[in-house]
Chains A and B, each alone.
Chain A
């Protein structure tokens, strides 16, 4: 066939096949194809090297449905530091290693508490990054991944509570070994994500979980790590023994640096600031060493974190590599969420918090700067009617009082059929007010309706509604000891992540 076709090819075709422009075109096509194949191949290989082997979690899928609406198109990232002395399969880490290198107690201590929770807001356009450390002892209503309540606990216990429940349930079903551990941890992650989302009123897009061993391994890659202390410290619990001033730490010392709380003026809050300082130092160091811009070095770091860091399954290594430089050069402002005081609950020292205030602070920091008229409720006129679909007597009146307190005009209150979700519906001209109220209540986006009179907003409270500063579902436990409410700046001023900040 081919020979016959060759024989019957017209002379003009043969001439055309050898024409200089055809040869040039063919050479061009070959060059472009080769460049494309090579470029795509190298990119594919590099990407697979980075991404393959990472421990991924689908925990975000469980809580995404009930996530509060996005305030902008930035990425909210939750860093979870787990106080576990176990490996990914639930096996105890070698005792000697835990005692000598981690300077931590037995595997029973720490359990699955999330001792570090840092919520970061990374704008898409390279703008300022806001980060909030959530004090681990904040006493809040903790949730399971499906949104069901666990009760009031320290926020760090949400993970452990869900882990234990799931672990016991699966163990009874005969599940064992790594599968039992991974499913139980997944329940813990879901609970932490659901609790933090409900507490802060903002959705979480990605998360990263690191345990003590993971922290140690990362620090080992990055050591020596430069830190700065305002005062000399010596603490036998964490093993911290450092002079004042700028100094370089190895991995073991770095772990002691971020874990120390005894002997510090503000205890746990100073420990939180140590963690912020550590992140600031490390990102500064990574930038100076050129790691962010060097995919090979980034790959080296990924190889280490693959062992004991868990990332959400939608985490995109390339996107993170692009966003990571935003975390350097003073571009991050670290805050610590405020507490209202201290108290004893269930025999434990806890931080008291004002849930509405926390939501308001986080949402203000994470939302794009509003126009002056939209920011002030008094300038957004609307009459608010509140319907009680929660079933708790007085909830509608209390919320109406709250809303009039911030400048809205009081309408009526009434009962409504019981419902799960709080909704906000508005009439003509009340859209901006409805948006403000929805944001305040962390309810889904408001909808307009011709059934609502012009200038009115109708709020129908559901089971998910919580009265400001309290859980109306459960009576507040009587404090056996409490300190007076503290000032707003009890958690200290914001720390700008620039170089090596000096901390207590």
Chain B
């Protein structure tokens, strides 16, 4: 929910500023992914930000009107606008998971000492 909510909120901010999904969505997705990554398991946490951002940007494009003359161009333009947010969310998730693993490892080592 945090991931979807963050992405939608970011896309909405972009929309209010008159832009297509961009930095707002990237930030929203990253923050949502960070919150979500604290609780989820790696198997689901890692791949889902990409899918959520893809769905949000595609939905935004369908609602607000699609750029490009042909399907190929439209798909390419969608990919160009969605990728930064996907990458930001994915990096945030991986960073959160890595931090969690490190904390657990450090905690485990402390316990043995």
Query: Number of A interface residues, CB 8 Å?
Result: 22
Chain B CB within 8 A of A47 CB: yes
Tell me the bound Cα distance from A293 to B82 in angstroms.
Answer: 24
Say if the beta carbon of A368 comes within 8 Å of chain B.
Answer: no
Contact B82 A40 (CB under 8 A): yes
Q: Are B79 and A33 in contact (CB under 8 A)?
A: no
Q: A36-B50, A39-B79, A43-B76 are in contact. Are A323 and B69 (CB under 8 A)?
A: yes
Which residue in A26, A44, A47, A322 is a CB contact (below 8 Å) of B72?
A: A322
**B86 and A26 form a contact (CB under 8 A):** no
A323 CB contacts on chain B under 8 angstroms: 69
* Contact, CB under 8 Å: B80 / A44: yes
Q: Is the CB of A37 within 8 A of B80?
A: no
A108 CB to closest chain B CB (Å) equals: 43
A124 to B70, CA, bound (A): 9
B residues near A33, Cβ cutoff 8 Å = 46-48, 50-51
The one of A41, A44, A48, A316 in contact with B68, judged by C-beta atoms closer than 8 angstroms, is: A316
Q: What is the interface of chain A mostly: helix, strand, loop, or mixed?
A: helix
Q: Chain A residues near B51 (CB, 8 Å)?
A: 29, 32-33, 36
A72 contacts the other chain (CB 8 A): no
- A318 touching B86, Cβ below 8 Å: no
Does chain A have a CB within 8 A of B18? no
Q: Does chain B have a CB within 8 A of A237?
A: no
Residue from A37, A47, A124 in contact with B90 in the complex, judged by beta carbons closer than 8 Å: A37
B5 CB–A CB distance under 8 Å: no
Inside 8 A of A26's CB, which chain B residues have their CB?
Answer: 43-44
Looking at the assembled complex, report how far the CB atom of A122 sits from the nearest CB atom of chain B, in whole angstroms: 10
Judging by beta carbons under 8 Å apart, are B48 and A319 in contact?
no
Q: Which residue of A lies closest to B44 (CB)?
A: A26
Contact B79 A40 (CB under 8 A): yes
The listed residue (A32, A43, A319, A322) touching B80 by CB distance below 8 A is A43
28 sampled A-B residue pairs with Cβ under 8 A: A26-B44, A29-B44, A29-B51, A30-B47, A32-B47, A33-B46, A33-B47, A34-B47, A37-B83, A37-B90, A40-B80, A40-B82, A40-B83, A41-B87, A43-B79, A43-B80, A44-B79, A47-B76, A316-B67, A316-B68, A316-B73, A316-B77, A318-B68, A319-B69, A322-B69, A322-B70, A322-B73, A323-B69
List the 4 closest pairs (A to B, CB-CB), nearest first: A33-B47, A43-B79, A44-B83, A40-B83
A residues in contact (CB < 8 Å) with B: 2, 26, 29-30, 32-34, 36-37, 39-41, 43-44, 47-48, 124, 316, 318-319, 322-323
Binding site for A on B (CB under 8 A): 43-44, 46-48, 50-51, 54, 67-70, 72-73, 76-77, 79-80, 82-84, 86-87, 90, 104
Beyond known contacts A32-B51, A40-B83, A44-B79: 9 more, CB 8 A cutoff? A26-B44, A29-B48, A30-B47, A33-B51, A36-B86, A37-B86, A41-B83, A43-B83, A322-B72
